[in-house]
Amino acid sequence: MSHRDGQLCVAGLRGWQSNAGQETGFDRVRFTGKPVVSVSGLKVARNGVTLTFTPPLDTSIAEDTGNWSGSPWNYKRTGHYGSPKVSVSDPARNGTDPLDITAAMLSADGRTVTLSIADVKPVMQQLLAFKLKTADGAAVNQQVLHTINALP
């Protein structure tokens, strides 16, 4: 972080887990003055997931379950390195299962969406994908990966 202008410099190397186009990188991150549009919080409940966003969202789009999708999966624990994605509902099958998102409700302040999800379980990985808009009309097309170690 530059003490002169507050800009952030980041460096990195491409490793096995990356799809980066370059072997190395050195970049400067500058604040544009525009607010960041992103997920700022996630909580898991027995009947779903709550996501908090930095800006208020468009209510009709956020509450349309067709704009949300997701899938949970586990990995096989073996003595070998790596594992394919393994179905949570059928551990004998490789792959993922679609989440059954039955409802999406936006809070009064427009920043928090509560997703009702059938059959929430502890999983090694769960993907939530969404195609939303802010109240100002900016696109919010993102994905969030999280782990559910235990249900509250």
- CB of 130 within 8 A of CB of 140? yes
pLDDT digits (tens, 9 = 90+) for 76-124: 998 888 899 999 999 999 999 999 999 999 999 999 999 999 999 999 9
Distance (Å, rounded) from C-alpha 33 to C-alpha 136? 16
Confidence of residue 29 (pLDDT cuts 50, 70, 90): confident
pLDDT digits (tens, 9 = 90+) for 43-74: 999 999 999 999 999 999 999 999 999 999 99
Distance (Å, rounded) from C-alpha 96 to C-alpha 90? 9
Residues paired with residue 133 on neighbouring β-strands, in sequence order: 139
Q: How many CA atoms lie within 13 A of 52 on its CB side?
A: 8
- CB of 126 within 8 A of CB of 119? no
Kindly list the structural domains of the chain, giving each domain's residue range(s) and its CATH number in brackets, ordered by start. 1-31 (no CATH), 35-148 (2.60.40.1220)
